[in-house]
A and B are shown apart, each in its own frame.
Chain A
Amino acid sequence: MSAGGVAIEGGAAPRAPGLSLDQRVLAAYETELLKLRSQLAVRLLVLVCAVGPFAFSALLKVQSGTPADALFGAYVHASGFAVSLVVMGFAGSWGFPLIAGLVAGDQFASEDRHNTWKTILTRSCSLGELFTGKLLASATVAVAMLTLTMLSSLAAGLILVGGHGLVDLSGNLESAGRSLALTIVSWALCVLPLLAYVSLAALFSVASRNGIVGVVGPIVIALATTLIDLIGKGVWVHLLLIGSAFGGMYGLFTTHPFLGPLVITSLVSLVWIAACVGAAWFILRRRDFLAGSAVRAPSWHAPLRVVAATTVIVAVLAVATNLGPVGITQHRLNAAIGGAFNNVSLLQQRLIGRIAPAGAKLDVQPFCNRRGAKSQGPGDWLCNVYVYLPQLNAVPFQRTNVEYDVSVRYDGCYKAQSPPTFIGGPTMTDRRGRSVVNPLFVVYGCFNTL
């Protein structure tokens, strides 16, 4: 058939001489890091993570308002740790999905867009090694972004606001050291759900071969998650959503820390990571690397299909959100509000110079219900807190009623705000004549929904 027959001297040579499997994965990892570092979007992201918290903190500094709807938001002028935790809260909703999309969502699709699969697959690394290297690199960059944002937000908060302790989610004033530790642990606990979003972005990237889908997909999912979190009484669907772990750490900020939601949502994140990575590998290893099918010009058709599919899934999940035991109950909210009100009342007394012994208890009876709806589930509640104050006259107790509008989240965290007529404005004057946050004006808290 063919001519010739010249023998090859030396025969089969070892593959990528001197490199073990680990080293080939490391080589793939390093090349992916190099590519990510060279991309404009990633460089801009680094800039935003480094400068954004400072800009946010500086903006808060020059205005009197606060992002009070966010947990700890009312304290951004009082504690630098609150600044960091508010940034973390925003990041959990939008920032981390965006980071995941930008670092992982285009990583596989860009090989199709640049038609470079054939370039890298004809070198010394296998598809599996490249896949592993890409995932590790995007995970590394995403975690680096998280770390950078944490450090930047802490630095911004401590420099521009100060290192005063936090008022925790049971209404107690924490020391600066404990506040710092809780803040750092909270950021660290965001790593798992962040990696879940990274895995999801990688799956979108592999499955769609479209960078737009990979980048926007996690944000669309985050939006859908936010919508689903607003409805439904059951706990299961909420716990199983990909972003649920971003709220798991708030149980650590209470007088009696509860770890159930944290453990479950962390495990859920691990399941999401395994499922997304497994599915991405399943799809990738079965595809042919053909020019015609590989090079798909970026288009909005695929993203629109993803949005349509997401809408259907959200509708199904919305129906399913009532499944499982009810997490937000009247009894739980009453107990949480009562305890928190007791603690912030004592804190207020201390701030104005009165003696309030540690562990002191007021006679507080909260009663929470929902207007026009069954008293359960996340949403808007109305809580009347009845305080019985002892008197030295014929009537042994004076009953005072404080009314709070309470907004309760799916994870049992809430913000309670009272009209100024009841408990004064958002700030008050302490015993030294300084303007400080009135701890009774906005009360934050969390309770275990399991």
Chain B
Amino acid sequence: MPGVEAVTASGLVKRFETTTAVDELDLVVAAGQVHGLLGANGAGKTTLLRLLFGLIAPDAGSIRLLGRPLGGPGSAALDHVAGFVEEPSFYPYLTGASNLALLAKLDGEVPAGLIDEVLERVGLTERAGSRVGSYSTGMRQRLGIAAALLRTPRLLLLDEPTSGLDPGGARAVAALVRELADQGVAVLLSSHQIGELEKVCDAYTVIRDGRVVWDGTAAQLTAQAPASAYALATSDDDRALVIAAGVPGVRAGRSPRGQLAMSVPEASLDALVLALGDARVAVRRLELLVSPLESMFFALSGDEKVDELEPYDLAERVLAGAGADG
């Protein structure tokens, strides 16, 4: 059905007693797109995903998944929709393979061998016969992804899919998401690990207090994002500071430990490096501390204006925030 978006949510409102968790929220996710959902704790990401899965009913607004209106839990609109919200949950007294077999039965059986295939794909073949109660958080996360793959989805809704995974596992999940998107699967990915999102997302929606505060493509984000922060080490840091001050848009300073940190708009980065070279100041290290996405996220989800923060201060705050739950 040409032109059908994977997710179309409009005017969504969800209130819990006196709290409005989702407030007049609009969201569109295109087919084949990996769409990042960003927001601070309590921004409304998980509530939005529960609304999309039909697990809770909106107080206002409408949702269409793969072109079909969403009715409620188990709605027909959830055909070919898979994923999980919050941590994946299974029956602890059943094995991983039995859990998948049970879910496959609810889906009307799956092709022979698919369960083994998805278990192998997420690296759980050896533990498939163990009870889920003995699984680590990361293993349950991988089993959740396997359960989603069983449905041969055309829309994946994933809530913190790399939570609890080691770096290797997180990279594998990111690669899998990208591979599925390349095959035409739309993915809505909620994560607080911005670095993981940047590797795979084509578009982003940033929400705050239940409202969309920014959405657009990755290219639009790079163009509109506040200056990124870099750590810089040169052969002559004092001269580098002076030279940086002369490059338009660049703000430079020292961290409490004396290291150079600079806030540099994407367009000014080349000019800065060339200016340092012209002045025979050797660049020994140029490290990205805060990416455009991170600075945008920080700008949109925090209370302070990112442009007014010292570069190292911005970097420290972003890095400190990266460890928090989304």
Stretch at the interface among A19-27, A69-77, A298-306: A19-27
A39-B93, A123-B106 in contact; A288/B56 too (CB < 8 A)?
yes
Q: Inside 8 A of A40's CB, which chain B residues have their CB?
A: 93
Give the residues from 72 to 97 in chain A that come closer than 8 angstroms, CB to CB, to chain B: none
14 A-B residue pairs with Cβ-Cβ distance under 8 Å, sorted by A, are A1-B26, A2-B35, A8-B31, A10-B1, A13-B66, A15-B79, A24-B108, A34-B98, A118-B53, A120-B106, A121-B73, A124-B78, A127-B72, A291-B46
* Contact between chains at B85 and A3 (CB < 8 Å): no
* Contact between chains at B107 and A16 (CB < 8 Å): yes
Q: Inside 8 A of A121's CB, which chain B residues have their CB?
A: 53-55, 73-74
Interface string of B50-68 (1 = CB under 8 A from A): 1001111100000000111
| Shortest CB distance A33–B (Å) | 10
Cα A430 to Cα B75 with chains together (Å): 73
Task: With CB as the reference atom, state the residue of chain B lying closest to A116.
Answer: B89
A4-B203, A24-B108 in contact; A38/B74 too (CB < 8 A)?
no
A118-B84, A120-B106, A288-B57 in contact; A2/B74 too (CB < 8 A)?
no
* Contact between chains at A35 and B102 (CB < 8 Å): yes
Q: Inside 8 A of B50's CB, which chain A residues have their CB?
A: 118, 289-290
The listed residue (B31, B90, B216) touching A119 by CB distance below 8 A is: B90
A15-B79, A119-B89 in contact; A130/B74 too (CB < 8 A)?
yes
* Contact between chains at A127 and B151 (CB < 8 Å): no
Cα A1 to Cα B8 with chains together (Å): 11
Q: Inside 8 A of B84's CB, which chain A residues have their CB?
A: 118-119, 122
A15-B76, A118-B53, A126-B73 in contact; A8/B1 too (CB < 8 A)?
yes
The 3 A-B residue pairs with the shortest CB-CB distance, nearest first, are A11-B1, A126-B74, A4-B30
Cα A229 to Cα B32 with chains together (Å): 67
Give the residues from 92 to 135 in chain A that come closer than 8 angstroms, CB to CB, to chain B: 114-130
* Contact between chains at B81 and A122 (CB < 8 Å): yes
Give the residues from 20 to 44 in chain B that come closer than 8 angstroms, CB to CB, to chain A: 26-33, 35
Cα A127 to Cα B73 with chains together (Å): 6
* Contact between chains at A27 and B108 (CB < 8 Å): yes
Q: Inside 8 A of A4's CB, which chain B residues have their CB?
A: 30, 32-33, 202-203, 217
Q: Inside 8 A of A13's CB, which chain B residues have their CB?
A: 66, 79-80, 154
| Shortest CB distance B145–A (Å) | 13
Q: Is A359 engaged at the interface, CB distance under 8 Å to the other chain?
A: no
A11-B1, A38-B93, A118-B89 in contact; A2/B27 too (CB < 8 A)?
yes
Q: Is B184 engaged at the interface, CB distance under 8 Å to the other chain?
A: yes
Q: Is B323 engaged at the interface, CB distance under 8 Å to the other chain?
A: no
Q: Inside 8 A of A18's CB, which chain B residues have their CB?
A: 108
A-B contact count (CB 8 A): 178
Cα A9 to Cα B88 with chains together (Å): 29
Q: Inside 8 A of B98's CB, which chain A residues have their CB?
A: 34, 38
* Contact between chains at A119 and B103 (CB < 8 Å): yes
The listed residue (B55, B68, B220) touching A288 by CB distance below 8 A is: B55
* Contact between chains at B68 and A23 (CB < 8 Å): no
Interface residues of A (CB under 8 A from B): 1-19, 23-24, 27-28, 30-31, 34-35, 38-40, 114-130, 288-291
Q: Is B198 engaged at the interface, CB distance under 8 Å to the other chain?
A: no
* Contact between chains at A114 and B89 (CB < 8 Å): yes
| Shortest CB distance A145–B (Å) | 20
Interface residues of B (CB under 8 A from A): 1-6, 26-33, 35, 46, 50, 53-57, 66-68, 72-76, 78-86, 88-94, 98, 102-103, 105-108, 147, 151, 154, 184, 186, 202-203, 205, 212, 215-217, 220
| Shortest CB distance B164–A (Å) | 15
Cα A129 to Cα B81 with chains together (Å): 18
* Contact between chains at B53 and A122 (CB < 8 Å): yes
Cα A30 to Cα B217 with chains together (Å): 45
A119-B147, A121-B74 in contact; A114/B108 too (CB < 8 A)?
no
Q: Inside 8 A of B53's CB, which chain A residues have their CB?
A: 118, 121-122
15 further contact pairs, Cβ within 8 A, besides A6-B32, A114-B89, A290-B50: A2-B27, A2-B30, A3-B203, A4-B203, A7-B1, A14-B79, A24-B108, A114-B91, A114-B92, A118-B55, A121-B54, A122-B83, A124-B74, A126-B75, A291-B86
A3-B203, A119-B89 in contact; A8/B66 too (CB < 8 A)?
yes
* Contact between chains at A7 and B91 (CB < 8 Å): no
Task: With CB as the reference atom, state the residue of chain B lying closest to A10.
Answer: B1
* Contact between chains at B79 and A16 (CB < 8 Å): yes
* Contact between chains at A3 and B74 (CB < 8 Å): no
* Contact between chains at B108 and A19 (CB < 8 Å): yes
* Contact between chains at B220 and A122 (CB < 8 Å): no
Cα A2 to Cα B6 with chains together (Å): 12
Cα A83 to Cα B205 with chains together (Å): 71
Task: With CB as the reference atom, state the residue of chain A lying closest to B220.
Answer: A3
Cα A31 to Cα B108 with chains together (Å): 11
* Contact between chains at A124 and B94 (CB < 8 Å): no
| Shortest CB distance B284–A (Å) | 38
Cα A128 to Cα B217 with chains together (Å): 40
Q: Inside 8 A of B102's CB, which chain A residues have their CB?
A: 31, 34-35
Task: With CB as the reference atom, state the residue of chain A lying closest to B56.
Answer: A288
Cα A31 to Cα B67 with chains together (Å): 30
| Shortest CB distance A131–B (Å) | 10
Q: Inside 8 A of B205's CB, which chain A residues have their CB?
A: 2
* Contact between chains at A8 and B88 (CB < 8 Å): no
